[in-house]
Amino acid sequence: MKRIITMLLVITAVVSAAADDSVKKFRKILSRYDVAPEAIAVPTDNNAAFWNAALGADRNLARLNRDIAKGKGLERKAIDACTKMPKFYPEYNSHVRTDLQPWADSLLATAGLPCDSIATRLYVVDNPRAEAFAPLTEDGFAIVITTGLVYNRGCDDDMLKGIISAQAVHGAMRHQLQFFYDEAKQRRKGKVWSGIAIGALVAADLTLAMTDSDHYDDFSYNDFTYNDFSTTNINVETNGSTLTPVYIYSADQIYQADLWAYRMMERLGKGDSYIRALKLLSPQVAGAETDKESSPCISDRIKFINFVTSQKR
């Protein structure tokens, strides 16, 4: 009996510690990525103004735009990596439901899109899985939802509006470019520390070489390239005219998209619609391909939104 009680106490302690870690993580994400108060204060009959205010006040986006505008070094590498990604060409994609385009345009408009800050268009593609994504295009990004999502039992326009909003955040915040840029910076940081360590080893080598002429080590570096990233292709057709979205987001970017989409719907008095919408998404995809080691599952994303609802602004 004592052994059982001890095991239960240990399990309780582990669960409690995990819950505390989640709260700390969620609090950090909320403080770093929440929508600006001026955007929340925008009248509910003007969703376009909400997006313009939110993006206009976001310091993270402003910093990224300033850095990328330099077009040198790491910035150029991130741009090149993003440029090499497959693009979505709706006019040549056999999956696009052109008969649903008027409805898609109308639905997008109810979400306040496109607007001054976000130039995009919504498309519906034939796919039985409930999915949504924001593939890159020649002039920006598109928002794509599947028939499996649109015709899913229990789905309504408010839920779709929330899902569309999350994808708009990925595109408007330039999450794909930000991901590559952050990776480039991390690689450079790693090389700096590697260089310091290698410098110490070289110094040791030189010292050793004074007494051992046969001792020699060769050090090499791998440059940052697009091919270093793992990507996922979805809906591949053999004829080449396919929707092949490739998108890689960090866990924080997934949470930010959820947060902004929820805020957009919350100000309309329909925040619960976004939580219900998350449950519609395929758990295998959850709207995007993320950094696999830290990819948040649907349950984690719902827990995060529930945490957000418990916090006072």
* pLDDT (mean) for 138-142: 93
Provide the H-helix boundaries in the chain. 2-33, 37-40, 47-56, 59-70, 73-83, 101-110, 147-150, 157-172, 175-209, 251-266, 271-280, 298-310
Q: Quick one: pLDDT at residue 63?
A: 96
pTM of the model: 0.77
Segment 254-268, tens digit of pLDDT? 999 999 999 999 999
Q: Quick one: pLDDT at residue 228?
A: 37
Q: Quick one: pLDDT at residue 200?
A: 42
Block residue for tokens 């990525």: 33
Nearest 5°: phi and psi at 123?
Answer: -130, 150
Residue 295: band (very low, low, confident or very high) from pLDDT cuts 50, 70, 90: confident
Segment 224-249, tens digit of pLDDT? 333 333 333 333 233 333 444 567 89
pLDDT at 161 over 80: yes
137: left (phi over 0), alpha (psi -120 to 50) or beta: beta
Strand pairing report for 143-146 and 132-133:
antiparallel
Q: How many Å apart are CA 236 and CA 262, to the nearest integer? A: 32
8 Å CB contact between 266 and 236: no
Q: Quick one: pLDDT at residue 101?
A: 97
With both helix axes pointing from N to C terminus, report the angle between 47-56 and 157-172 in degrees, rounded to the nearest 10: 30
8 Å CB contact between 96 and 123: yes
Segment 70-126, tens digit of pLDDT? 998 999 999 999 998 888 999 999 999 999 999 999 999 999 999 998 999 999 999
Q: Quick one: pLDDT at residue 247?
A: 74
Segment 169-226, tens digit of pLDDT? 999 999 999 999 999 998 887 765 444 444 443 344 433 333 333 433 332 222 333 3
Q: Quick one: pLDDT at residue 246?
A: 62
Q: How many Å apart are CA 26 and CA 32, to the nearest integer? A: 10
